[in-house]
Amino acid sequence: SCYMERQADTFAIEITKDNEAAVSAFHKLSKHGIVIPDPDLIYKIWKYDHPPIKERIEFFRGYKPWQEGNSFKFQEYIDRKK
């Protein structure tokens, strides 16, 4: 589901703190025609179980809780890794 994918994206950014790597990866996917970067609303509602690439890239660019002094959503899982 889109919700679970957003959670996975959040965790990936929190554990790596590498937003630009995520942006680069998704740009490459959209560049090579593997996905539709910005589908219209009807297509998105009907067919998508993942957030569109454009939305994911926007999220990756903006989600930086460590820079804003905010706690991580998945801090307890990151702490277990140590």
Q: Counting runs of H as helices and runs of E as strands, what totals does the chain give?
A: 6, 0
Examine the pLDDT at 67 and tell me if it is beyond 70: yes
Higher pLDDT residue, 52 or 15? Answer: 15
Mean pLDDT of 65-82: 86
Q: Which of 27-31, 67-71, 77-81 has the highest mean pLDDT?
A: 67-71
This prediction's pTM: 0.79
